[in-house]
Structure 1
Amino acid sequence: MTPSAAIIVQSLAVKRGGNPVLHDLNLTVPAGSITGLLGPSGCGKTTLMRAIVGTQQIESGSVTVLDQKAGTAALRNLVGYVTQAPSVYTDLTVEQNVTYFADLYNNRAGVGEALDAVGLTDFRARRTLDLSGGQRSRVSIACALVGSPTLLILDEPTVGLDPVLRKDLWDRFRALASAGATLLVSSHVMDEADRCDNLILMREGRVLAELTPDQLRERTGQTNLETAFLQLITQGSQ
């Protein structure tokens, strides 16, 4: 049975270099939806995502992913993770990179679809060393998509991409969620918030709110989501 919550974070605290980064976080990511993790750079979004995929040592609290403890071996074939920095082999071609990950998931038939989803079909024979930074990021996304993960964690996946490709990627994300996958997508660009079903708003290692885009507008009385977020920050600091 599919859990109603794909991710449950309870009383999570994380220190890095001896300094507190996350402070007693509690949040839930509903299954089968797109949840936007939004906030300014340095607010702890990446640290939270690392805790969810099990690569971040935590000080206290718990992170449950698909009804299991984050980072357990059973989750390896169920969770896809796209980091901010492109995770590719620069001596391989685009297609070879994606095929490598496809073989790990026994899904070589999905290589073409993954390349098409990120707009790299025409670049499949090119070495990733010769690609732009934005193109390398798209290769990383294709490598994650080819595994057809149940939960997909994307850390600012659209940074450096042109508006047309950003729209294409978000359309792809929506299709994945409609098919039953859960996506957690971080961003500091508030215009992407409207593409999400749910929002988790962060600032300085704390969760300011969990709500939908419409609830954020209603709560602040603002139609522009960036203005609404800034107003919420102001309210929270008073």
Structure 2
Amino acid sequence: MLARTVEVTKRFGDTLALDRVSFDIPEGGVVGLLGPNGAGKSTLLSLLVGLRRPTSGTVELLGGDPRDPANRRRIGVTPQETSLPSTLRVRECVEFVAAHHPDPVPTDELLDRFGLADLAKRQTGGLSGGQRRRLAVALAFVGRPTLVFLDEPTTGLDVEARRSLWDVVRDYATRNTVVLTSHYLEEIEALADRVVVLGQGRILADDTVAAIRGIVGIHRVSLRADDLPPLPGVVSVERTDGRTSLLTTDADELVRELVRAGTTFDGLQVQPTTLEEAFLTLTGK
């Protein structure tokens, strides 16, 4: 086990950020942390990397105290917000971080991997927000870490840059472990082997993407119809461009009821929920 929390609670004054959270990170793959703002995702990461102490409970990193420099040297971290020295050049930033590791990734190799080679001589103060974010993520990988924590890594990136970063994460996770938080739910679907859903400081679900959908048990039934009778198990209804989409807990019974009621419809489609729909249902949104 690379890291874990046992019955961890974290308070900030009267605010309960984490409520008796037990969570473990085994070797290999990508663990995705999902949750609305204020769910406790960043707080959980800050405890795991030793930036904060729990109010109660136990936190372990690589078999020991997260605040032990020997353990922290084996991890890589990109926090949600980073501040880079504006006068340092991109190459200088990478080389500065590399100097703190015994076997860093060669600078040119790292810059090329993250699409930063053409920016090597640019001062960080002159970079766009997306370019600074790519650099901040690249710095997490300089020391060949065993475990990487990425907090909202693709915020501010365009589609091409985001998918390029996905490729890096996928490749790295074949040999090591990555934990990431994201508001981009398709990002978690694309990358994560395991999904942990946080809400109000508690773990609401912890499983594969497919299993999270199964926990919710909701399907999307989409069709074209002028009028619909009252239908069983309907969670929500959306109407767009002449089509009606219904989220339901029993798609088979809904279709049978349409036929029994003599409803005229066409273009029927039944699909499993997306992770977004499952997530919103779990968190009561």
- Please report the TM-score for the alignment, with normalisation by the length of structure 2: 0.77
2:200 pairs with one of 204, 216, 235? 204
- Which range moves more in the overlay, 80-89 or 105-114? 105-114
2:283 pairs with one of 213, 216, 233? 233
Give the drift of 1:109: 5.3
Partner secondary structure for residue 106 of structure 2:
helix
The residue that corresponds to 1:116 in the other structure is 112
Question: Residues 156-175 of structure 1 correspond to what in structure 2 (within 5 A)?
Answer: 156-175=152-171
The residue that corresponds to 2:73 in the other structure is 77
Give the drift of 1:103: 1.3
The residue that corresponds to 2:57 in the other structure is 61
The residue that corresponds to 1:186 in the other structure is 181
Amino acid at match of 2:184: V
The residue that corresponds to 1:223 in the other structure is 273
- Which range moves more in the overlay, 122-131 or 169-178? 169-178
The residue that corresponds to 1:19 in the other structure is 15
The residue that corresponds to 1:99 in the other structure is 95
The residue that corresponds to 2:233 in the other structure is none
Amino acid at match of 2:182: S
Amino acid at match of 2:143: G
In structure 1, runs of 5+ residues without a counterpart are none
Root mean square deviation of aligned Cα: 1.5
Structure 1 runs, 4 residues or longer, greater than 6 Å off: none
2:5 pairs with one of 2, 6, 9? 9
Structure with the higher helix share, 1 or 2: 1
Give the drift of 1:50: 0.4
Between the two proteins, the alignment pairs up a number of residues equal to 230
Q: 1:11 to 1:108 in 2, by over 3 A?
A: closer
Q: 1:18 to 1:233 in 2, by over 3 A?
A: closer
Higher relative CO (Cα under 8 Å, sequence separation at least 6) belongs to 1
Contact 1:52–1:71, Cα closer than 8 Å, also in 2 = no
Q: 1:93 to 1:211 in 2, by over 3 A?
A: same
Contact 1:99–1:108, Cα closer than 8 Å, also in 2 = no
Contact 1:80–1:144, Cα closer than 8 Å, also in 2 = yes
Partner secondary structure for residue 147 of structure 1:
coil
The residue that corresponds to 2:30 in the other structure is 34
Contact 1:27–1:210, Cα closer than 8 Å, also in 2 = no
Contact 1:14–1:23, Cα closer than 8 Å, also in 2 = yes
- Which range moves more in the overlay, 120-129 or 184-193? 184-193
Q: 1:169 to 1:90 in 2, by over 3 A?
A: same
Partner secondary structure for residue 132 of structure 2:
helix
In structure 2, runs of 5+ residues without a counterpart are 218-271
